[in-house]
Structure 1
Amino acid sequence: MHVGICDGIYGRVSINIGAEPGPDADRESNASKLTPAPAPCRIAASNAPLEVGTTLPSRTLLHLDLEGAVARWRYASTWITLLWRIGPSPYGP
């Protein structure tokens, strides 16, 4: 990931939403915590799959390759990291 960001393959921005996520399965509660985020952040995040808690690096890369973006919200964090693919996938068409 870091090499891809440094090489300009992926972009990255961190968004402080001021709340920590609940369990991944508690989608309604987590969605309500995202509502106060600034509108541009909600729009960007709504177009990307949201991974709450822990996830495998391969899953993050899969989202970037297939959907072009992913939002990561770690447990015990008030920050969401939005990653997106800037150019063509380095893994094929």
Structure 2
Amino acid sequence: MTVHEDLAQGVWEDLQEKPGDVAAMFELRNRHIRGEMDEGGIYGTGYADALGSSARFRPKQWPLPQHAAFIKLHAMIGAGVVSYVCISTGGTPGPDADRAGNAAKLTKTHKRFTAELDMHQNGADADGNLSWSGELGLSRPTGIFFYPSTCRNAPQSILIYPTKMREGTAPLEVGDSWPSRTLMHLYQYGAVARWPYGSELIWLFVNFKRCSSR
């Protein structure tokens, strides 16, 4: 078991101390399995895979600790502890073996950012890194939800406020990566960039408890 999988196991054990939290996890797990986390809505298409994905296992086959890590990430975002910004690239990532092709696509990342792929990796903690210069504008959730419409079936929206992050860097994970690895990076480095399969966007997640904002 890896370090980040140990972390997920700890999150799962903590969740079990509160039956209500376990029920919330299984509710989110069911939404994830049904594909409801990636249909746009509050968080945007590709959101679930950015938190964590696996080509080998569909969400219904995930170990419960990975679902625990997934809901932990989702809860941190909803509470405003973590925020994210989506960044355009030159396309969707190809197979891991096609590092040259993926690196070429990353050269077309939005000009505010520099995305670099480790061409050898050799057991490195991440596939590469993403950096940005100058202040970065983010929309930070407040943890409060509201109904933007009086329509009976109107979905809730999350109340956000603008904030700015100082220049910095984040580990970049390309393709599949367990939610526990995303969570570990946020704890360890205060930020992580995810470029999941099927997405033309890099999702930069920032942990405000580890990174300074303005």
| TM-score bin (small chain) | 0.7 to 0.9
Coordinate RMSD, CA, aligned = 2.2
Counterpart in 2 of 1:79?
Answer: 201
Q: Which residue of 2 aligns with 1:62?
A: 184
Distance 1:69 1:31 in 2: 21
Q: Which residue of 2 aligns with 1:45?
A: 130
Corresponding residue for residue 162 of structure 2: none
Gaps of 5+ in 1: none
Is 1:29 aligned to residue 151 of structure 2? no
Describe the superposition over 1:3-48 as per-residue Cα deviations: whole angstroms up to 9, x where unpaired.
1112111111111224011223433332221112222232792321
The CA distance in 1 between the partners of 2:200 and 2:87, in whole Å, is 8
Alignment length, in residue pairs?
89
Per-residue CA deviation, residues 25-78 of structure 1 (Å, 9 max, x unaligned), is 433332221112222232792321111111111110000111111111111211
**2:205 & 2:130 partners in 1: Cα distance?**
10
With normalisation by structure 1, the TM-score equals 0.79
Question: Which runs of no fewer than 5 residues in structure 2 stay unpaired?
Answer: 1-72, 116-128, 132-168
Counterpart CA distance in 2 for 1:53 and 1:4 is 22
Larger Rg: 2
Of the two structures, which has the highest relative contact order with CA contacts closer than 8 Å and spacing of 6 or more? 1
SS of the equivalent of 1:42 reads strand
Q: Which amino acid aligns with 1:20?
A: T
Identity of aligned residues (%): 47
Give the aligned partner of residue 11 of structure 1.
Answer: 83
Change (3 A) 1:39 1:49: same
Task: Report the Cα distance in structure 1 between the residues aligned to 2:210 and 2:192, rounded to whole angstroms.
Answer: 16
Provide the rounded CA distance (Å) in 1 between the counterparts of 2:207 and 2:97: 27
